[in-house]
């Protein structure tokens, strides 16, 4: 089973009056003062953004906190998940990928605690990694997990 891990930082949360929250995460930077782990992630994914909307605010995301984004190909055709929308090849083995949350029907979307709409886009510079994502239309499971404080 193909699995890929990225590391992003929560930049902002914007709750609205209807009970939804916009979440914005960006890829970690490899600049001076960051952890060795962040530098390694930055070398493979120097640019990326996850901008999506969730129902309510479960407390999962907090501005300034780092998160692992774990992605794995899901061949079960789930009721909901993330669908690979675009693979843009820029050179041999490198480019960018874009995912969108997707629901098979309105009932699945209403029951979801996952992102309702938005996108996850990442530039991939580690040679050969882009091929792991496959073709647009594939379903992926994507989870967001708080990184340990010592890895910030």
The residue among 120 and 38 whose pLDDT is bigger is: 120
Beta 94-103 vs 80-91: how paired, if at all?
antiparallel
User: In order of start, what are the domains of the chain with their CATH numbers?
Assistant: 3-151 (2.40.50.140)
Beta 139-146 vs 66-73: how paired, if at all?
antiparallel
pLDDT for 64 equals: 92
User: Could you give the C-alpha distances from 11 to 26, 34, 66, 76, 77, in angstroms and in order?
Assistant: 7, 16, 9, 33, 32
Residue with tokens 């129902």: 55
pTM: 0.84
Q: What percent of the chain has pLDDT over 90?
A: 23
For residue 23, what are the β-bridge partners? Answer: 13, 52
pLDDT tens digits for 55-111? 776 678 899 999 999 999 988 877 778 889 999 988 776 889 999 887 765 565 555
Looking at the chain, list the stretches that DSSP marks H as alpha helix, in order from N- to C-terminal side: 36-44, 106-111
- Mean pLDDT taken over the chain: 82
Pair of tokens at residue 95? 């480019």
The residue among 51 and 78 whose pLDDT is bigger is: 51
Nearest CA-CA partner of 49 in 83, 97, 93, 3: 97
Least confident of 26-35, 44-53, 107-116, 134-143: 107-116
pLDDT for 118 equals: 85
């Amino acid at each position: 089973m193909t699995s890929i891990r990225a590391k992003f930082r929560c930049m902002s949360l914007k709750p609205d009056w209807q009970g939804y929250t916009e979440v914005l995460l960006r890829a970690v930077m490899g600049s001076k003062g960051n952890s060795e782990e962040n530098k390694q992630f930055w070398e493979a994914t120097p640019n990326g953004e996850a901008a999506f909307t969730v129902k309510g605010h479960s407390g999962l995301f907090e501005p300034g906190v780092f998160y692992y984004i774990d992605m794995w190909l899901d061949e079960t055709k789930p009721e909901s998940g993330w669908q690979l929308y675009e693979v843009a090849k820029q050179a041999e083995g490198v480019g960018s990928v874009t995912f969108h949350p997707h629901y098979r029907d309105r009932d699945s979307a209403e029951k979801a605690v996952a992102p309702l709409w938005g996108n996850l886009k990442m530039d991939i510079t580690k040679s050969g990694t882009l091929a792991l994502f496959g073709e647009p239309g594939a379903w992926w499971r994507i989870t967001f997990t708080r990184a340990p404080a010592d890895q910030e």
